[in-house]
Structure formats: structure tokens, C-alpha cells
Amino acid sequence: MEEFLTAQFWLAVGQIILIDILLGGDNAVVIALACRSLPEAQRMKGILWGTAGAIALRVILIGFALTLLAIPYLKLVGGVLLVWIGVKLLLPTDDDEHGNIQASDKLWGAVKTVIVADLVMSIDNVIAIAGAAQGAAEQHQMPLVIFGLLVSIPIIIWGSQLVLKLMDRFPVIITLGAALLGYIAGGLVLTDPAVTSRLGEMSSQTVTLAGLAGAALVVLLGRVLARRQKTAATD
């Protein structure tokens, strides 16, 4: 019980919620597109059941990810992926990338579309959330993940459009979120079993410095690539 009262636990909860907001914006779009052809009376059911199925599937995937991250070199791979995901957050997005989401006029058809699409799009969420949960004691990692996802559900269902508008108005939110992914990536790399078996367990200060270096790397790469992409578009 004392673990749930520590600052470290609640910091991890906050990270998971922020990650799900930043990387879950697409989920709100998918849900809206998949349910747009349902009768008015069934739309909320489609949204609720689709979200519930997607969240349950994500919890299962994260459970596997938490176990797999104990295998040597997988944290290294996860860290590299998180750096790329963070950089992608800082790049201009394609407004038409969801054009292939098919609407359904049947409730369970829409629910299936939401769940399948979420499965395809969830790799970034799964890796990031599993990485954030690594900061908690092992026996509390899954409860932490489930709690963080449950808190984020109403945000995904009702608050995503507001969050997206805030991101448009205050781009620094996206930059901070990308930096957070880089911070988690730095910690993952230094705590990989392959690294600790050769260099020994890292101190918390060293892991923090690695996280800060990862955050700086993501922001720097994101800005450089965004500038190049913008320059290429104007040529």
C-alpha cells in the first residue's frame, strides 16, 4: 500500500496518462470515423464498446511487453523505437492518413473496426507505457498500467478534441510529450539487462542523465527533420 503513496508511483501514473493523451489522439479519430455511419441511438454504444475492447486489448499487449522487456536487448530496441516515435510527434502530420478507416452501419462491425485499427496503431502506446511503468516496483507495474489507462479512457472518449485543440494552440505540449518519450527511452537503454550485465546496475542519477540526454536528442532530431521537411515542401 505504501508504494501507491510514493511520488515515483504518481509520477509514472502522470507519464502514462500524458502518453495516452499524446499518442491516443488517433484513437479518437478512428472511433469517430468507424462509428459515423451508425444510427444516432447506437453511436454512443459503438464508442463505448469499441473503446472498452481497445483498452482491454492494450492492457493484454502491455502485459506481454512488461515481460518481454526483461529479455536482453529488447529495452535497447524499445528505446530506439521510442526515440523515433517522439521525433514523429514533432513532424508535420498528414491530415488524410485516416482516410482508409471504413465506417460501418452495424454496431458490432463498427466495434470490430475500432479494435482492429487500435491493434495496428497501438505499438507506440504499448512500448511507451510499458517503459513508463518500469519505474514502479515489479508487483505494481500492471496495476499501474491499468489505473493509468482507466483514467485516460474518458479523456479519449470525450476530451480528445479539446486536447487536440490545446495542442494546436500550445505546441509546447507536443514538444514536452516528445521529450518525455525520449526521457523514457534513455532510461530503457541504460536499464537493459544486456547493459547492466556488462556495466553493472546504474545509479538513479545516471539513469536520469540518460533520460535527459534522450529527451534532448528527440527534440533536436525532431526540429532538424521538421525544418528539412518544411524546406523540401517549399522547394
Q: Considering only residues 231 and 217, tell me which one the structure prediction assigns the higher pLDDT.
A: 217
From the list 56, 157, 43, the residue with the least C-alpha distance to 107 is 43
For the chain, which residues make up each domain, given as ranges? 2-234
pLDDT of residue 124: 65
Q: Considering only residues 87 and 120, tell me which one the structure prediction assigns the higher pLDDT.
A: 87
Residue 163: pLDDT above 90? Answer: no
Residues 213-225: what's their mean pLDDT? 93
Query: What's the angle, vertex CA 27, arms to CA 103 and CA 137, rounded to 5?
Result: 150
Whole-angstrom Cα distance, residue 15 to residue 133?
9
Residue 147: pLDDT above 80? Answer: no
Q: How confident is the model at residue 216 (pLDDT cuts 50, 70, 90)?
A: very high
pLDDT of residue 53: 79
Phi, psi of 89, deg, nearest 5:
-60, -30
Per residue in 11-27, pLDDT tens? Answer: 777 887 777 766 665 56
Residues 6+ apart with CB under 8 A from 75: 69, 131, 188, 189, 191, 192, 193
Q: Considering only residues 27 and 86, tell me which one the structure prediction assigns the higher pLDDT.
A: 86
Query: What's the angle, vertex CA 218, arms to CA 214 and CA 223, rounded to 5?
Result: 150
Helices 40-68 and 141-154: crossing angle in degrees, nearest 10, is 160
pLDDT of residue 16: 79
Q: Considering only residues 2 and 55, tell me which one the structure prediction assigns the higher pLDDT.
A: 55
From the list 145, 129, 136, 95, the residue with the least C-alpha distance to 24 is 129
Q: Are 165 and 205 in contact (CB under 8 A)?
A: no
pLDDT of residue 197: 87
pLDDT of residue 217: 95
